[in-house]
Amino acid sequence: MCGICGVYEYENKHSVSRDLLPEMLAAIRHRGPDDQGTYFCHNLAIGMRRLSIIDLVSGQQPITNEDGRVIVVFNGEIYNYKELRHNLGQRGHIFATASDTEVIVHLYEDLGEECVNELRGMFSFALWDTRQQRLLLARDRLGIKPLYFSNVDGCLVFGSEIKALLQHPQVQARLSLEGLSSFLSLRYIPAPQTMFAGIASLPPGHTLSCDRYGTKVKCYWDLSFTSVHMPQNCNEQEYAEQLEELLQEVIRLHLMSDVPFGAFLSGGVDSSTVVALMSHILEMPVRTFSVGFEGSGSFSELPYARLVANRYHSDHHEVLMTPTDFVEVAERVIWHLDQPIGDMAEVANYLVSELAARHVKMVLTGEGGDELFAGYARYSGDRLSAISNLIPRPARNLAAKVSTRLPGMRRQKLAIYALSQPHEAGRFANWFALFNPDLKRELLTREAKDQLNGWSAEEMFASYLERTDAKDRLNRMLYVDTKLWLADDLLLRGDKMSMAASLEARVPLLDHKLVEFAAALPPHLKLKGLQRKYLLKKVARRWLPNEIIDRRKKGFPTPLSMWFRKETLPFVRDILSVDAMRRRGLFNPRYVETLLEQHVAGTADFGLQLWALLGVELWHRVFVDANSRRFQAPCNPVIS
């Protein structure tokens, strides 16, 4: 892993230990050449381990301005840094490196905290202003790069990874029941919550400033669905031309690199479009990487990936995930994630990152297209809410309760429960729940429920819906998914799993210019009738075969549910044993055993729920139970 970390003692109660920062840097593991360095002043220690992608020679961090009074450590990439560097040079700034990092200190000199508004890229950074004695932390608009912090006894401890913060003697690994409750409802833990009590995640599009007076968190960017900056009275073809131009622009920007690069290729519309555009831009074959599953049958999407790879003559590589791989790396994956995510693609994402890292140092991915252009089934399914609202509420509630007891039909049951909710926030929160409120009450022990005091995900969704300027039902749904699901599930998983392999993963579809363009599009160009991602598919059809454009979306299917019934069942039974559940005291052992029995018998598909519960137990073992081991990575073997 790579990232930033540091300690700022804003109350100056005692001096910074120069032995502490190296321990925090050591917790941010990285295999291979990197920029690394430390900076100390009388009350601040910051450090950096960064995977070198741009300016491999002179880009060592920390980096300062001309007089050394502004210091920055930075994780990520600034894609418009050459343009910014040119403009800053014309205003008299002198550069000592060719690194994108250095533009940040000079921008700060001119603009102060507003410098973040000029940056086009993915980033988390820590900047120290010696004149103002102020620390500034910042995270990119969409949350591509993570950043965590904790206030402890007059110290602000921060880092790109939670495990780095845990090296501080006053930051303890303790469970946050609110974070656990969010995870059980949503599959992820939304910022600023984490699974750790006392440790917060800086939300996307936010800065945190800290000085002797304390800390202040500020939002500098939000997603707007108004068409203020869009050309008016465009027809469909004109919108398509603008989208095509933007796609080509963002791919070109994201190809900026001084190291070998490639692309993840799933065979879906988004990643296939990225590969197609890369192939048109580059003079050499694109290196592509895909993951499949041993004996997976209908789960494999490798034939679609091969179809695109063959069309563009890419240098294609594949890895097959086996049940043995899952057992061997599951604990390691949780360690790299810092906290569990209820997403069965995590292990596969880790293995394909390991594969790619043997050939390249950077990949482009297709993440974000579904949230920009309405690619999930729930976007079209939510239209049924108008019909559902015509049904008397007692009948809807009864249907929801009965559906949870029916065998199979996981997606259908989620839809029935979501559509039964009387309010928009409850409907959106339950479209992709792990455990809906009724099931969560059965899962949790009485002691855990008493401590939660009735916290619900619906309240959090309601707070986000109050902020958005979106009026249309579809855009309101896209807003919460972009702010929550995308940032705290998909992007977090992608960053952690790629960085675990010392691989940088870039997400060109989430360039904020493209995101803002997509948000302002008329809703019918995203979801037209029942056709999802309408405009993106219209544009991509000129580059991709119909088999890719028109095939049914599968997401990222994995055979874990099938493996949990057979090959990996002993592993699951061991981790989720009755004794283990009783010792932990969070989950009702009988209910967990019932989930497992029904899953094994094939009367229900609880694979996702079981993987989530596995994640919680493994997280406790790796972080809480292992507190005395100083958070060393599990010694599971990695594929060769």
Would you name the residues annotated as active-site residues?
Answer: 2
Enumerate the H helices of 187-223 as residue ranges. none
> Coil, strand, or helix at residue 196?
strand
Q: Which two tokens stand for residue 631?
A: 């958070």
CA distance 3 to 378: 35
Phi, psi angle pair for 255, to nearest 5°:
-85, 0
What's 358's DSSP letter? Answer: T
Buried b (16+ CB within 10 A) or exposed e, 618-633: bbbbbbeeeeeeebee
- Angle between the 269-281 and 236-254 helix axes, to the nearest 10 degrees? 70
Q: How far is CA 323 from CA 342, 347, 558, in A?
A: 18, 11, 11
CA distance 615 to 341: 7
Please, what is the Cα angle at 344 between 342 and 345, to 5 degrees?
115
- Angle between the 512-520 and 236-254 helix axes, to the nearest 10 degrees? 170
Q: Which two tokens stand for residue 487?
A: 């940032």
CA distance 520 to 229: 8
268 within 8 A of 365, measured Cβ to Cβ? no
Secondary structure element (H or E) that encloses residue 406, with its range: none
**Residue of 328, 338, 322 whose CA lies nearest to 571:** 328
Please say whether the dihedral angle defined by the alpha carbons of residues 112, 114, 118 and 120, taken in this order, is positive or negative: positive
CA distance 589 to 576: 8
CA atoms within 13 A on the CB side of 12: 7
Secondary structure element (H or E) that encloses residue 179, with its range: helix 177-186
> Coil, strand, or helix at residue 4?
strand
188 within 8 A of 47, measured Cβ to Cβ? no
530 within 8 A of 375, measured Cβ to Cβ? no
Secondary structure element (H or E) that encloses residue 627, with its range: none
Q: Compute, in degrees rounded to 10, the torsion defined by CA atoms 406, 410, 416, 422.
A: 120
CA distance 296 to 559: 6
Tell which phi-psi region holds residue 30, choosing left (phi > 0), alpha (psi between -120 and 50) or beta: beta
